[in-house]
Structure formats: structure tokens, C-alpha cells
Structure 1
Amino acid sequence: MTALDPVQDGSPAMNSGDAHAPGSARIFRLFGWTVLAIMTAFLINNYLTYWQNLPGVQPIYGGVANGSMSIIWSWFQLAIYAGLILWGFAYVMRSDRTLREDSARISNINAFLIRAAFFAVLIVGLVDAAISFLRVEGFLANVVGEQLAEDLGKSRFRGAYVHMPLIGLSVVIAAFTRTLGFTWLALLVVIAELMIVIGRFVFSYEQAFLADLVRFWYAALFLFASAYTLLEEGHVRVDVFYAGMSTKTKGYVNAFGSVVLGMTLCTVILFIGMGGKQNIINSPILTYEVTQAGFGLYVKYLMAGFLGVFAVTMLIQFVSYFMDAIADIRGEPGGRDHSSSAAH
């Protein structure tokens, strides 16, 4: 017998209860939580290395250190990986959760992250658009004073003292809500587009911050909703063969795709985007990069971060999807009806 097929032909009927025993699923739970532990450690070390100027783990393996701090900090950063992996191992060994229970828990954590990201782009977009409107019309100094108006024209100040507190507020709001709100975000994109059209063709009024706002929300709508779409099996898939498969075979397909295609893609995005100070995600965020339009939104650096949010949320959801697929292979009860996705 294997962990995937614990009941074989000719086995006593009493063994069927062992097929769904949480203990026999621990190897797959351990794999999933280890992936999440490594991802979390990577993100923490990315912050410590490029925002707090710690040397990173590269000096341990003969690589170039970031900054001039002692290599002791490199060992500390390496210990973060070990500590989180051990925490995942301890969690799996101490708990008797089923694969579906772990899958649901991971998916709920991911939903919280997506909610926080949604509220962040909503609130930051509205507040930054208001600031940009007041600046371009010359009202900002009258509202907040000359010095603060001048500071708000600097991307580092606006990012650190306006955007970051608003993102923190968004995390708090996400903790007390249960809706993802993508429908409302799509509606706001349409309203913003309508404002551009009416302003341009009726009032001959057009400003760069309006177009920036549409791009900001539109990018968030597609990148942040991807993980939720995966959960609901809304992504396009080739169903010529899949629709006719048994639940167990679909589980094999989904497990293979989650690991080989999904997790691999997300890992590549994270390493390419955040593997160094000048990489495509880290560089814009570190410098609070903005567009060339001086009176546009100061959110270009956040849009670079959208790619990181996409990779993280999709990786988390792929781990959840993997566990659910293994549960299908093992015949655990409580699975979803995959036949409803045949239309996709």
C-alpha cells in the first residue's frame, strides 16, 4: 500500500478507514507547509537584506554580501529558513488535520492576503488621486500648507508617510471583512474610465492621474483575482480529456500541474523579481519609482509589487490546490465537484 492508494484490491474492508487517516497524509501536508515556510523565509530575508542592509545568505556560500555587516547576520538569516521549516514540521506532526482541512485553512489565509491587497489598492488609489488632483489644480498648499505640499510632491515622502499607513489600515480592514470585492473594483475601473471620457469629450479636461488610476486598479483586478479564480476553477483549461476523467485521475492531473507548472512558475517570478537589489520588483519599490508625469499618481512602484503579490498568492493557492488534489486521489470525503468546471 502507498499513501496515495492505501486500499488495494483484496485488502480487508476494515482497512478502508485507514485510507483517510490524517497520519498517512502527513508527507503531503509536510511538503505543502515546507513550500510555504521557504516562501515566507525568502520574503522576510528579502526585506532584511535590501531594506535593512543585512548581508543576506549568499556570503555563507561564497557569494557577495549586501552591505558591510558581519557574516553572523548571514547565519541569522539562514536560521530563519531553518526555523520556519522546523515550525512547519512541528505543526504537521502535532496536528491531525486532514488534507482538505489544511487546504481550506491555507486558502482562507490567502483570501485574507488578497482582501488586504484589494483594500490597499482601493484606498491608496483614491487618496493618491485626491492628492494629485489638488496638486495639479494648485489647491494642495491651501489645504495642507506649503511645506507638506512640497513634501507630498516627493515620492519617498508620499510612499512612506501616506501609502504605507494606508496599506496598514487595509490589513486591519481585511481582518474584519469577508468579501474580496473584485466586482466593486471592476465597477470602479469602469467609473474611472467613464470620468476620463466625459472629462475629455464634454469638458475638455484630462489629467495624467486619471489614466494612472485606471491602470493601477486594472492591473490589481487581474493580478489579485488570479488566485481566487484558481480556487473557483475559473481559469481556462483544455477539457477535451479532463472533463471525462474520474475524480482520482483529475486529482493526479491537478497535483502534477500545481507542483510542476504552478509552483515552478511562481518560484521563478519571485527569484527573478526579488533575487537582487536591481531586479524588476525590488528596484522600483526600493526607489519609490514613479512615472515621468509629474502630476500623475505616485504608485508605479506599487504596480511593480503587484507582480510579487500575484506570485505569492498564486503559490499559496497552488499549495492549497495540491493538497485538495491529493485528497481526491486518496478518496477523502468532502471534495468539490470538478465537473462544474467543464464549461471552462
Structure 2
Amino acid sequence: MTQPLFDAAAIEQAATPHLVLDTVRDALIAHAHGRTTVPPPLHLQFPDADGDCHVKAGWVTGAPDFIVKIATGFYRNPKAGLPTNHGLVCVVSARTGQVQAILDDQGLLTAWRTAAAGALITHAMARPSATTLAVFGTGEQARLQVEWLARLRRIGTVLVHGRSQDKAGALCEEFNAHGQHARPASAEEAAGADMIITTTPASAPVLEAAHVRDGAHVTGIGTDMPHKNELPPALFARAALIATDDHQQCVDHGDFGRAVLDGKVTSTSDTPVGLLLEKPVERPDDAITLADLTGVGALDAALASAVLRALTSTSTAMVSTPRQFKES
């Protein structure tokens, strides 16, 4: 029996920004209302290679398919001329259990759903007048967070903070070449921006809570495994509104969970991200708001299903013919 295997080029053509943003938003809302099935993720670490892997699964209630996804991050890869992230998505029928397709996306859908989720919640929770954006990190996700947020709101200045000044400078040059006004910044200066997005695999906080100004919004997306930590517990204590993409995951291995363990907030201090995407967020202009995103398998399921539908539609099928693989 053969099943289609689609490569990253075909997937990139099918996964339009409009499709990704709408699908991720709807999936976050469905998850907030309990209309999903998401088992705990499986985590693997490879310390000698500075790498990690997580395996996630998810299903949106009533959807024809569920997914199992493998996503890896090997952080020394760029030195060897290889991408940091890789992965694939297996789409399986929720009615028969048969494999429908393999999306050999090389981590593309994970990167884009992460960028879309970060952009959506940052736009929803930040002050309407907020224009200065700081990103902590200099990799692919730092670039994507700026690009996808710019689809939703005007960004005045982009501040980039990274461990490598050369990488921070190079990323700023890339932003400037695409019409953004960007420059490298110290951790303290970046923490003073209107909007802050952390996109690192750090194991210790990348900013200090005291440096975040009143009225700022902070989105952390890098803490997707137990050994990672980007945001200090003290920052959660200052926040008037805390949002999580998955309560249990964020308690188990998110920055929110660290704040709970540290006694800065209670385990019931968070609001599901999806609820904040349904209607305008009410926030005082001087309040600090915070989102902790650990990555939800239901988003992968919804996006993979939407992309597969696009790939197998008549118009897309004429552009790209999938390779085939045999089930063993």
C-alpha cells in the first residue's frame, strides 16, 4: 500500500499565511474550550550534540485526521551548515487509523505554527499603541516572530538581543533589508520594549523582571522542554494577566510552572490563550501582560490537516506531484 509523501517545497506553497493564521487561531480557541485531545509530549535530550527532540500528537474533536509529529532542534548544526530544526508530520485518519500522508516539512509547519501563535497572542495582548518590539534570540524563530507579527500590526523599531553580537547584527541587517527598522540591543534595553518575544533554547532567564516596563507585553516561546527556562518567576508576579497555550504543559515544563513552584503565582493564575483570541483583551495601559507558549499538538493536527487538504485539492495537485512511500 502506498501513501503520499509531500516535501517541504510543496508544503510551503500550500501553507499560505492566511491559512496558517486562521487555522492556528481556530485551533487555539478549540483547545481553550476543551474540544481537543492532546497527550503529554515525549521529550528526548542529546547533551553531547546539544540537541533535543519532542514528539507531539493531537486531534481536534470532529476532525477527520489526527497527527503524530517529530520535531528536533540541534543547536550546533549552523556551524556545520545545517538547519537547526527538522522534523516531519504523520497525518492519520481518525476514522480508520490509516496513514493518510507524511508531510516531510523539515520542521517548516512547526516553525510557522509557532510563529503564528506567538504573533496572534502578542498582537491580542499588547497595547494597541505598542510599536517597539524586542526579540531575544537570533535564530529562525526570532526572524519569523517579527515577520508574522508585522502581518498583524505596524512595528516601529525592532530590538534584537542575542549572545552573539555578529548574529544579532546580521539579523538586523536582514530585517532592515525588508523594510523594518532594526538594531542590536543589550538585554536591559531590549527588556524595556513595548513588546518582548523570547525565542531561545536558554536554560536560565534571558532578562530581568525589573527591566520590563509597566505596560509591556511579553511572550515566551522557547521553553518547550523541562530543562529550558527563558522568563524569570518574578516577572509572573508583576503580570496583571497571564496566558498559557496549554495549562498542564505550562505547569509541567513551562516558565509559568517555574513561577508556580517558586511561589510567585498560583497554579490557577493563568487564562487560556484561545479565550483571549475570541474577543478584545481588556488591559490597563500600565499593566504587564505575559504569555507562556509551550506548543500544542492540536495546532499541529489542525494545520497539517488544512495543509493536506490544500495539497490534495485540484489546483495544488497540478503544481506538485507527491512522492510515494510504502508502509511496512
TM-score by length of 1: 0.27
Larger radius of gyration: 1
TM-score by length of 2: 0.28
- Bigger share in helix: 1
